[in-house]
């Protein structure tokens, strides 16, 4: 009795290995290149009780907001370095780098975000 079983390749040739390694590097490189499209933003907006204030991201600084929070600006990023709120969620959030990021501290009534440079996300043709 003869069964038609498909042939299973049990080994790879050198060319197969090179192709697989090339594809892995291509995927990793394109992922990193896509993720690293960081726009250098000029400022962040800090809102405390509805009052807005711009903070420059151009120079490294430590800023005391006067409401129990201390901000740190470094390498065009911003974060809450210290806060007197109980859960420290705003401190644990980490650095803001992108326009989609925001830090909200409800006990201190503070919102920190980086505004978009443009109203358009992208244009298609």
Per-residue pLDDT at 93: 92
The CATH number of the domain where 84 resides is what?
A: 2.60.320.10
- With respect to residue 109, please indicate whether it lies within any of the assigned structural domains: yes
**Residue 64: which H helix or E strand, with range?**
strand 61-64
**Residue 91: which H helix or E strand, with range?**
helix 89-93
Domain span at residue 53 reads: 43-113
User: Along the 125 residues of the chain, how does pLDDT read in single tens digits?
Assistant: 556 777 766 677 888 889 999 999 999 888 776 665 555 678 899 999 989 999 999 899 999 998 889 999 998 899 999 999 999 999 999 999 887 789 999 999 999 998 876 655 555 65
Per-residue pLDDT at 37: 56
> Cβ distance 78 to 72 under 8 Å?
yes
- With respect to residue 13, please indicate whether it lies within any of the assigned structural domains: no
Which residue, among 116, 117, 115, 118, has the nearest Cα to 44 in the 3D structure? 115
- Claim: this prediction has a pTM higher than 0.85: no
- With respect to residue 104, please indicate whether it lies within any of the assigned structural domains: yes
Per-residue pLDDT at 36: 55
Instruction: Report how many domains make up the chain.
Output: 1
Per-residue pLDDT at 38: 55
Q: Any long-range contacts for 66-75 (C-beta under 8 Å, 24+ apart)?
A: 67/108, 67/109, 67/110, 68/108, 69/105, 69/108, 69/110, 71/46, 71/112, 73/44
> Cβ distance 108 to 68 under 8 Å?
yes
d(CA 62, CA 119): 30
């Amino acid at each position: 009795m003869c069964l038609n079983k498909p042939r299973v390749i049990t080994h790879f040739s050198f060319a197969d290995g090179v192709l697989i390694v090339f594809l892995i590097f291509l995927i990793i490189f394109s992922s990193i290149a896509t993720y690293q499209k960081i726009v250098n933003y000029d400022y962040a907006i800090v809102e405390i009780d509805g009052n807005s204030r711009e903070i420059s991201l151009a120079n490294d600084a430590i800023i005391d907001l006067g409401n129990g929070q201390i901000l740190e600006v470094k390498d065009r990023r911003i974060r809450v370095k210290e806060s007197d709120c109980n859960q420290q969620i705003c401190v644990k959030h980490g650095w803001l780098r992108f326009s989609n990021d925001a830090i909200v501290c409800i006990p201190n009534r503070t919102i920190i975000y980086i505004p978009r440079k443009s109203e358009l996300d992208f244009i298609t043709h």
